[in-house]
């Protein structure tokens, strides 16, 4: 399991970008998605049940992406892409047959459902039947004020140019700047033989800027990324020149920093990007599919104290505007606010339809997939540590000799052992209760379940971190994370100082 943070890597959320808006669909806040006609949907579900599948699901998707990339003072390219297709899942017992196609004709869909059903049935005795009556499931579709597709390309080009200029204006030591604008509109339609008829219309807009500062000790980078489940109004709410200035200043800070130390010490994590720690350190271990397979350090521990009493962790797919939000998940279930750990006690895992079905309980709205070409599985949405009651100053003041991590970058966790690593992209020493000199990047390393027990202070502030793409079993999905300021009594810093 790993998470690639947009601020650290080529932004994964929108590798290409969409094609010009061609059909001019109306948008009224309701689900207008109908990629497949209802009679085709009914016919495909019926064909799947007839072929012996106990459960049949149709997932149709239409994704348009558009991006503008600037690097080395030049608009490198404008790119657009279009992806449309259908993935059909058939289930017999625990066995899944899956077929996908980019051909939306009824003949291709029936072929696909028969292929999927045959794979699910295998050699076993099957029980042909008919689908249940349709029931519409709807969620709260994110309203979009300004459709990115309707904004002229020149305006998007102007944004990345403005960021380039602003970052270079900060200091002559800023020797290189790259900036990226990306938009995605993803429309999905889900129907299954249990009667679910659902859909969503998801728009995500992102902007990132990376500045490189060159000094005596080589080159260092500073990045800023904003991304929300909103339209072009993202730029009414955020000033890209401020973002660029901040990225440049981060690079300059680092170029003057000394190498990070090595060893074990108290660590204070600042608000925002530290959310990745909880995503990795415990979030993945609370995914029901991994729990079931014994690949989680949290298996069989519901009701137990698994963390410090200061720790309450929530996964919330309903958070307005956030990167990991949606109306319904990729199995047609409404997004939900799920308390995973409350005052240190493990309350519940996260569930997709398959695991929920197997255990006779409702899905928690965490069934997600990268695209119609992928099977859904349990995934996080927006995962955060709830604020506590100490001020950030109090928390830092409690450390004589330690590290303050202002920004955490990407990380990786082994869910079975709980061991994780994270890159610190901006960090400072703490001396005698005060933030001291900056240090260059290094890794934070630890064990998720142990770190949860070692949190001894949680701040009354809170921020969501930058938009991220979480990878699991080769599938990437957009996620959000957030934390208040918090302190861990002891973590290992792997720096590069000798």
Partner 1 sequence: MSGVNGTEPDQLLQLAESLLALAQDGEQMEVAVSAGSSTSVRVYGGEVESYTSADSSGAGIRIIVDGREGFASAGTLDPAILKGLVQDARDNAAFAETDPHAGIAEPDGVAPVEVDAWREETLSLGAEERIARALEVERRVLDGHEAITGVRTATFSDSAGAGALASTAGIRAADRSTSVSSMVQALAVDGDRSQTGFGWHGARAPQDIDYDHIVDRAISRSTELIGATKPESATVDLVLDPQLTATVLGLTAGTLSGDRINKKRSPFSGRAGEIIASPLLTLVDDPTDPLSLGADSTDGEGIACRPVPLITAGTLDGYLWDSYNARKAGVQTTGSAVRGTRGLPSPGVHALSAAAGTAGSLEDLISSVDLGIYVFALAGLHSGVNAISGDFSVGVEGRMIRNGSIAEPISECTIGSTLQRLLLDITAVGSDRIHMPSGVAAPSMIVSGVRLSGK
Binders of partner 1 in range 311-330 (CB under 8 A) = none
CB half-sphere exposure, 410, CA atoms < 13 A: 18
The verdict on 8 binding partner 1 (CB under 8 A) reads yes
The verdict on 494 binding partner 1 (CB under 8 A) reads yes
Residues 465 and 478: their CA atoms lie apart, in Å, by 13
**Which tokens is 61 given?**
């998707």
The verdict on 423 binding partner 1 (CB under 8 A) reads yes
**Which tokens is 28 given?**
């009224």
Residue of 208, 220, 338, 366 that binds partner 1 (CB under 8 A): 220
Angle between helices 38-50 and 106-121 (to 10 degrees): 30
Residue 146 backbone zone (phi > 0: left; psi -120 to 50: alpha; other: beta):
beta
**Which tokens is 331 given?**
């199995």
Chain residues 96-125 in contact with partner 1, contact rule CB under 8 A:
96-102, 115, 119-120, 122
Chain residues 359-378 in contact with partner 1, contact rule CB under 8 A:
373, 375
Residue of 219, 241, 256, 453 that binds partner 1 (CB under 8 A): 219
Least distance from C-beta 22 to partner 1, angstroms? 8
Q: Give the CA diameter of the chain.
A: 73
| Nearer of residues 316 and 481 to partner 1, judged by Cβ | 481
Helix%, strand%, coil% for the chain, nearest 5? 20, 40, 40
The verdict on 305 binding partner 1 (CB under 8 A) reads no
The region of 9-17, 143-151, 199-207, 314-322 touching partner 1 under the rule CB under 8 A is 9-17
- The torsion of the CA quartet 360, 361, 365, 368, rounded to 10 degrees, works out to -20
Least distance from C-beta 203 to partner 1, angstroms? 19
| Nearer of residues 30 and 473 to partner 1, judged by Cβ | 473
The verdict on 2 binding partner 1 (CB under 8 A) reads yes
DSSP 395: H
Least distance from C-beta 393 to partner 1, angstroms? 29
| Nearer of residues 342 and 490 to partner 1, judged by Cβ | 490
Chain residues 228-287 in contact with partner 1, contact rule CB under 8 A:
260, 262-264
DSSP 125: -
Residue of 449, 459, 466, 484 that binds partner 1 (CB under 8 A): 449
Helix (H, G, I), strand (E, B) or coil at 200: strand
Q: Do residues 77 and 165 touch, judged by C-beta distance below 8 A?
A: no
The verdict on 295 binding partner 1 (CB under 8 A) reads yes
The verdict on 422 binding partner 1 (CB under 8 A) reads yes
Chain residues 125-144 in contact with partner 1, contact rule CB under 8 A:
none
Residues 459 and 269: their CA atoms lie apart, in Å, by 10
**Which tokens is 119 given?**
């794979």
| Site mask for partner 1 (CB under 8 A), range 161-200, x = bound | --------------xx------------------------
DSSP 284: G
How many residues at the interface with partner 1, by CB under 8 A?
90
The region of 38-46, 404-412, 430-438, 461-469 touching partner 1 under the rule CB under 8 A is 404-412
**Which tokens is 292 given?**
């079931």
Residue of 19, 21, 347, 357 that binds partner 1 (CB under 8 A): 19
The region of 42-50, 129-137, 240-248, 445-453 touching partner 1 under the rule CB under 8 A is 445-453
- Residue 168: partners with Cβ closer than 8 Å, 6 or more residues away: 174, 177, 248
Closest C-alpha to 184, from 4, 16, 334, 70: 16
Q: How far is CA 325 from CA 62, 143, 409, 477, in A?
A: 18, 12, 21, 11
| Nearer of residues 4 and 41 to partner 1, judged by Cβ | 4
| Site mask for partner 1 (CB under 8 A), range 69-98, x = bound | --xx-xxxxxxxxxxxx-------xxxxxx
- Going by their DSSP bridges, the two strands 455-458 and 434-439 should be labelled as unpaired
């Amino acid at each position: 399991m790993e998470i690639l943070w947009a601020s650290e890597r080529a932004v994964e959320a929108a590798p290409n970008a969409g094609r010009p808006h061609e059909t001019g669909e109306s948008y009224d806040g309701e689900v207008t998605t109908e990629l497949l006609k209802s009679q085709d949907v009914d016919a495909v579900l019926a064909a799947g049940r007839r072929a012996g599948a106990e459960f049949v699901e149709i997932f149709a998707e239409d994704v348009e992406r558009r991006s503008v990339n600037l690097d080395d003072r030049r608009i490198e390219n404008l790119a657009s892409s279009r992806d449309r297709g259908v993935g059909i899942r058939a289930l017999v017992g625990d066995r899944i047959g899956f077929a996908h196609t980019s051909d939306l004709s009824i003949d291709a869909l029936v072929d696909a459902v028969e292929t999927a059903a045959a794979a699910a049935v295998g050699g076993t005795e099957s029980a042909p039947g008919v689908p249940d009556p349709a029931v519409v499931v709807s969620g709260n579709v994110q309203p979009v004020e300004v459709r990115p597709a309707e904004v002229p390309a020149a305006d998007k080009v102007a944004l990345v140019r403005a960021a380039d200029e602003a970052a270079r204006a900060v200091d002559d030591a800023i020797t290189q700047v790259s900036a990226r604008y990306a938009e995605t509109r993803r429309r999905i339609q889900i129907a299954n033989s249990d009667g679910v008829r659902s859909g969503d219309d998801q728009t995500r807009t992102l902007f990132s800027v990376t500045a490189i500062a060159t000094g005596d000790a080589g080159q260092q980078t500073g990045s800023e990324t904003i991304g929300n489940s909103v339209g072009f109004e993202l730029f009414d709410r955020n000033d890209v020149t401020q973002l660029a200035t901040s990225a440049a200043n981060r690079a300059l800070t680092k170029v003057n920093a000394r190498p990070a130390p090595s060893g074990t010490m108290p660590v204070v994590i600042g608000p925002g990007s530290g959310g990745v720690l909880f995503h990795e350190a415990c979030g993945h271990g609370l995914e029901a599919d991994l729990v079931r397979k014994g690949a989680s350090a949290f298996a069989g521990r519901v009701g137990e104290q698994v963390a410090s009493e200061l720790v309450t962790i929530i996964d919330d797919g309903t958070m307005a505007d956030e990167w990991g939000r949606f109306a319904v998940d990729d199995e047609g279930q409404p997004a939900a606010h799920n308390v995973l750990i409350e005052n240190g006690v493990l309350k519940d895992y996260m569930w997709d339809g398959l695991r929920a079905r197997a255990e006779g309980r409702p899905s928690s709205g965490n069934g997600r997939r990268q695209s119609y070409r992928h099977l859904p599985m349990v995934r996080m949405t927006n995962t955060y540590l709830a604020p506590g009651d100490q001020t950030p100053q109090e928390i830092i003041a409690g450390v004589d000799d330690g590290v303050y991590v202002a920004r955490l970058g990407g990380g990786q966790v082994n869910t079975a052992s709980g061991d994780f690593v994270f890159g610190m992209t901006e960090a400072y020493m703490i001396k005698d209760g005060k933030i001291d000199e900056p240090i260059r990047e290094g890794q934070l390393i630890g064990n998720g379940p142990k770190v949860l027990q070692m949190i001894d202070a949680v701040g009354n502030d809170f921020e969501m971190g930058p938009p991220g793409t979480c990878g699991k079993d080769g599938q990437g999905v957009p996620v959000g994370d957030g934390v208040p300021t918090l302190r861990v009594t002891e973590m290992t810093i792997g720096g590069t100082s000798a």
